[in-house]
Amino acid sequence: MTTSGPPIAIGGRRVLLGVTGGIAAYKSAELVRLLTGAGAEVTVVMTGSATRFIGADTFAALSGRPVHTSLWERPGEVLHVRLAHESGLVVVAPATANLLSKLASGLADDLLTSILLEYRGPLVVAPAMHTGMWEHPATQANAETLRGRGVRFVGPATGPLAHGDEGTGRMAEPDAIVEAASAALEGSVGEGSGGLVGRVVLVSAGPTYEAIDPVRFIGNHSSGTMGIAIAAEAARRGAEVCLVLGPATAQPPSHVRVVRVMTAEEMRAAVLEQAARSDAVVMAAAVADFRPKHAADAKLKKEDGTPELALEPTPDILRELGETRRFGQVLVGFAAETSDIEASGRSKLERKGADLLVANEVGRPGTGFGSETDHAAIIDTSGDDVPLRDWTKTELAIAIVDRIVAHLGSDLRRGKPR
């Protein structure tokens, strides 16, 4: 797998771009184009002043997503909290002296600053202002404070400024900001950064559909987002990734190999074939537990009466993988639960013979199928569990891949008996 082209760290990430009120805001349109071209899902948040320099419609057209400008546009969903929690990276470009001052002081008087106060991930800022404003002791003190908190600065550069002036304060070029964003993501995963170069990782994702007749099926609400996030993160760490994907609504990353399937039997065949050469297998797919014993050849009609639907269990792919996997292979399972989440996850981990089990709560708003976030626990054979907590799917994917890297590198994987 080649790593040339757009920064792989950006691919598959949810990036929030904050645009503040400076003349350099026009450059941020190109920044959106570069980020989306690298595979990121970009959401733009503009301050009121930014809208005086460039229109929200420009960013909406380039990103393909709604642009947010007001803290009050969706009061019922607490917009600033949702955007903060679902973003894997925040970039502010241009970042004015006013924004740096607010961020250093912890002020939150608009949508963007409220997001920044709530957000806990990697943050990149690209300052843009006149030289005197940048060199003022107050601005320099604010910048130093923010650097001490882990904020990454890119620029400002030296060159032509507004009103025919020249000096330091020019916003960094968009390609330099993308490079800084990629570096921030590389550094955000801590000890788990990299670690999969030369490894082969198999991920299953999405639902399966089991036919009742030619137009109806048994399925579930899985969008495939979680498995796709894991596949993207494993690829970012250098792995060769195969994604076995059911009829999901989420789009897979462009830099992994995808095998499309529909039914549980098709998924079983594809997974077992690919698992033979994989160092790690992640069964994130929501495989249907049951299928009709006999699918009707023609559409079932109401006037023919209520049909008798006899069901049979589908293949238990995770258990089969646990029974047949080769020595040293890491196996990760998922459990969608509505009660006793952690206890049920521990029981399934032991029954299936997996190394890790992600126990995910479903059945309530804000977590599980079709949600941007998960309420989940990571159960580990080592006993080093992560108790139930809220995650964005990107955060959970990073944590899962961290564990895979750790298991692959442990003494057990280097030749000691299991």
- Residue 412, both tokens: 């057990």
CA distances from 65 to 110, 145, 316, 364 (A): 20, 33, 39, 26
- Residue 92, both tokens: 């502010």
SS3 sequence, 218-254? ECCCCCCHHHHHHHHHHHHCCCEEEEEECCCCCCCCC
Our answer to whether residue 220 is catalytic in this structure is yes
Residue tagged active-site, from 98, 142, 220, 360: 220
- Read off φ and ψ for residue 285, nearest 5 degrees: -65, 145
CB of 165 closer than 8 Å to CB of 131:
yes
- Read off φ and ψ for residue 348, nearest 5 degrees: -70, -40
**Rounded to an integer, what distance in angstroms lies between the CA atom of residue 340 and that of residue 348?**
12
List, as one string, the DSSP characters of 305-365. Answer: -PPP--EEEPP-HHHHHHHHPPTT-EEEEEEEESSSHHHHHHHHHHHHT-SEEEEEE-SST
**Rounded to an integer, what distance in angstroms lies between the CA atom of residue 184 and that of residue 86?**
17
Element (H, E) at 177: helix 174-188
Residues designated as active site: 220
